[in-house]
């Protein structure tokens, strides 16, 4: 039996601790009174979709490849995000599309964004989060070891596509989208290695890019004058 929204907090969050809380705070700023319909791509266990459903967001649909993992109360559609998936919801447009810690698992992020654009309402928002490879810990690791944090042997083996904020701008533009908001989420200063933490925290204010936050949060919209994803 699927859990009701009231006990959705029992579902495991497939994300860094605190990420769902912080991402949801940002989503509420986009839609203070909620909205519908909503599409969550890479639904995981359903913890995120149930959070939306019990917080004033109306119809919520989850799309993922693994129905056996999903235990949320929302409608579930089985689909492969590495392939065309917009056709699974013909004629539908969503006011909010979310993909929490998903794009780094995909083989072709440009294709993914084009599919999202096809499903996004002309006035809607696409919200993405992904590991921040520009964070100071990531930069230090690459400088010293030549490896990308979250994408090396110590990271999730299904992380295959690191997303740089500058390149996300380019990829979004190809899909007729623009990045309107970007912010770092989840503090990383609590690293147990004091010298490493002190170095990262001390240097971060003096470098460009996105040195703060273990994860990137990005909110995208259709480029003005488009809205069909073509």
Digit-coded pLDDT (tens) for 155-213: 788 899 999 999 999 999 999 999 999 999 987 655 556 776 777 777 777 777 777 88
Instruction: Please state the rounded mean pLDDT for residues 86-100.
Output: 97
Read off the CATH number of the domain in which 98 is found.
3.40.50.150
d(CA 178, CA 80): 24
Residue 179 lies inside a defined structural domain of this protein:
yes
pLDDT exceeds 80 at position 100: yes
What Å distances lie between residue 50 and 25, 39, 96, CA to CA?
15, 12, 15
With residue 116 as reference, give the H or E element that holds it. helix 109-119
Contact, 161 vs 105, CB < 8 A? yes
Cα angle 84, 182, 66 (rounded to 5 degrees) comes to 35
Residue 229 lies inside a defined structural domain of this protein:
no
Residue 136 lies inside a defined structural domain of this protein:
yes
Residue 112 lies inside a defined structural domain of this protein:
yes
What's the pLDDT at 212? 80
Domain ranges, residue 184: 5-221
pLDDT category at 46 given cuts 50, 70, 90 is very high
- Paired tokens of 155: 């990271």
pLDDT category at 229 given cuts 50, 70, 90 is very low
Is the whole model's pTM more than 0.75, yes or no? yes
What's the pLDDT at 190? 53
Instruction: Please state the rounded mean pLDDT for residues 84-108.
Output: 97
What is the DSSP-derived secondary structure letter of residue 107? S
pLDDT category at 2 given cuts 50, 70, 90 is very low
With residue 140 as reference, give the H or E element that holds it. helix 136-145
The number of domains in the chain is 1
Residue 35 lies inside a defined structural domain of this protein:
yes
Residue 126 lies inside a defined structural domain of this protein:
yes
Residue 115 lies inside a defined structural domain of this protein:
yes
Residue 230 lies inside a defined structural domain of this protein:
no
Digit-coded pLDDT (tens) for 106-144: 999 999 999 999 999 999 999 999 999 888 888 888 888
């Amino acid at each position: 039996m699927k859990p009701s929204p009231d006990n959705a907090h029992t579902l495991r969050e497939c994300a860094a601790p605190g990420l769902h809380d912080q991402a949801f705070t940002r989503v509420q700023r986009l839609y203070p009174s909620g909205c519908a319909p909503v599409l969550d791509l890479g639904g995981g266990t359903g913890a995120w979709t149930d959070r939306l459903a019990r917080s004033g967001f109306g119809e919520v649909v989850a799309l993922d490849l693994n129905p056996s993992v999903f235990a949320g109360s929302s409608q579930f559609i089985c689909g492969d995000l590495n392939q065309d998936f917009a056709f699974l919801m013909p004629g539908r447009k969503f006011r909010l599309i979310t993909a929490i810690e998903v794009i780094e698992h995909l083989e072709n992020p440009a294709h993914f964004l084009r599919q999202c654009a096809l499903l996004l309402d002309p006035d809607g928002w696409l919200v993405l989060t992904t590991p921040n490879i520009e964070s100071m810990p990531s930069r230090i690791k690459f400088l010293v070891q030549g490896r990308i944090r979250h994408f090396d042997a110590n990271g999730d083996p299904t992380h295959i596509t690191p997303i740089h904020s500058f390149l996300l701008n380019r990829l979004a533009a190809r899909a007729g989208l623009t990045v309107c908001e970007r912010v770092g989420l989840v503090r990383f200063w609590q690293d147990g290695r004091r010298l490493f933490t002190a170095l990262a925290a001390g240097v971060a204010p003096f470098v460009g890019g996105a040195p703060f936050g273990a994860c990137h949060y990005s909110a995208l919209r259709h480029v003005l004058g488009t809205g069909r994803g073509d």
